[in-house]
Amino acid sequence: MDGANHSVVSEFVFLGLTNSWGIQLFLFVFSSMFYAASITGNSIIVFTVASETQLHSPMYFLLANLSLIDLGVSSVTSPKMIYDLFRKRKVISFRGCITQIFFIHVIGGVEVVLLIAMAYDRYVAICKPLHYLTIMRPRMCIFFLVAAWVVGLTHSLVQLAFVVKLPFCGPNELDSFYCDLPQFIRLACTDTYRLELMVTANSGFISVGSFFILIISYVVIILTVHKHSSAGSSKALSTLSAHITVVVLFFGPLIFIYVQPFSSTHLDKFLAIFDALVTPFLNPVIYTLRNQEMKVAMRKVCRQLVSYGKIS
């Protein structure tokens, strides 16, 4: 396995999603709209939380960080997919392919830890309200943030270490519209069984494991709310339902894609579009729609932006 093997395959060709012109047109319009909307929505959240001092609390800092990551999620694979839609030959260089895999897994790891941190924040706020300020200190938020990036980088680098030296000598067609491990590994001309197992163990275990951690923590919160049902509990439940929706939408496709990387179906591709385009768009919608404080702050920021525009 020396580096010279790479020279045989220096680029990969995406087979894309479909050859039907009608579906391509639909995907082009759909993807461009969702991409533009998620960039706008998440940028507004980051900007609003940064500029409104009454939103300077752990919950909103974590939300803004999630929006920042969502900007990344939608930008790793979607622009290239949209650009490629109508091209006959959709190619990506070997290096471009590795870069996509690297960022997909860093960002995925960060997002998972942020979702856990947000669940923990709600757990403390609802189950230990008197200790909220002492537990969720700024130090704690920074700890979560550092942990998220350490986990994301480690998770990604560990997987890449296994695959970056793989020999590629034959077919270079990826049955997808972006590079990710399951399809990438299958093209290597070596026995890939153990590598596929490693991907299932690493990405699959992380997605299933954190999904269960999150669901269990939400069940604990809901049970606690039930026991001490008070005036505040219905408000708490409505924020919780937003969190649970996001978690299910984010992990559903992931688990499907990584837990059985051996089989690939048409469904995988459409689920991948969902995770790349729809989830990052839905996060700001879900978290802000039912949050009065956030809506008021966003309106204020938008008004300010409009009036700045008029002056200059």
Ligand X SMILES: *[C@@H]1O[C@H](CO)[C@@H](O)[C@H](O)[C@H]1NC(C)=O
Q: Is 71 one of the binding residues for ligand X (CB under 6 A)? A: no
- Contacts with ligand X in 176-215 (CB under 6 A)? none
Q: Is 244 one of the binding residues for ligand X (CB under 6 A)? A: no
What is the CB neighbour count within 10 angstroms for residue 282? 20
Among 27, 46, 55, 181, binds ligand X (CB under 6 A): 46
- Long-range contacts of residues 200-204, Cβ cutoff 8 Å, at least 24 apart: 200/258, 200/259, 200/260, 200/261, 202/155, 202/158, 202/159, 203/105, 203/108, 203/155, 203/159, 203/254, 203/258, 204/255, 204/258, 204/259, 204/261
Question: Shortest distance, CB of residue 183 to ligand X, whole angstroms?
Answer: 33
Q: Is 49 one of the binding residues for ligand X (CB under 6 A)? A: yes
Q: Is 64 one of the binding residues for ligand X (CB under 6 A)? A: yes
Q: Is 50 one of the binding residues for ligand X (CB under 6 A)? A: yes
Contact window for ligand X (CB under 6 A) among 1-9, 137-145, 201-209, 225-233: 137-145
Residue among 68 and 296 whose Cβ is closer to ligand X: 68
Question: Shortest distance, CB of residue 43 to ligand X, whole angstroms?
Answer: 10
- List all residues 6 or more positions away from 247 whose beta carbon is below 8 Å from its beta carbon: 115, 119, 211, 214, 215, 218
Q: Is 283 one of the binding residues for ligand X (CB under 6 A)? A: no
| Residues 228, 176: Cα–Cα separation, whole Å | 50
Number of residues that bind ligand X (CB under 6 A): 10
Q: Which residues pair with 93 in a beta bridge?
A: 11
| Residues 70, 38: Cα–Cα separation, whole Å | 8
172 class by beta-carbon count within 10 Å (0-12 exposed, 13-18 middle, 19+ buried): middle
Among 61, 211, 251, 281, binds ligand X (CB under 6 A): 61
- Contacts with ligand X in 157-176 (CB under 6 A)? none
Contact window for ligand X (CB under 6 A) among 23-31, 58-66, 172-180, 230-238: 58-66
Q: Is 218 one of the binding residues for ligand X (CB under 6 A)? A: no
Q: Is 93 helix (H, G, I), strand (E, B) or coil?
A: strand
Residue among 110 and 272 whose Cβ is closer to ligand X: 110
Contact window for ligand X (CB under 6 A) among 8-16, 59-67, 212-220, 227-235: 59-67
Length of the chain equals 312
Residue among 50 and 166 whose Cβ is closer to ligand X: 50
- Contacts with ligand X in 138-157 (CB under 6 A)? 141-142, 145
- List all residues 6 or more positions away from 97 whose beta carbon is below 8 Å from its beta carbon: 12, 174, 179, 184
Cβ–Cβ < 8 Å for 119, 62: no
Contact window for ligand X (CB under 6 A) among 44-52, 84-92, 102-110, 241-249: 44-52
Q: What ranges in the chain are assigned the alpha helix state H?
A: 21-51, 58-76, 78-84, 94-127, 132-135, 138-163, 181-186, 193-199, 205-227, 233-259, 266-273, 279-289, 292-311
Name the DSSP letter for residue 167: -
Residue among 103 and 149 whose Cβ is closer to ligand X: 149
- Contacts with ligand X in 289-308 (CB under 6 A)? none
Contact window for ligand X (CB under 6 A) among 57-65, 184-192, 197-205, 232-240: 57-65
Residue number of the CB atom closest to ligand X: 64
Residue among 165 and 300 whose Cβ is closer to ligand X: 300
User: What residue ranges bind ligand X (CB under 6 A)?
Assistant: 46, 49-50, 61, 64-65, 68, 141-142, 145
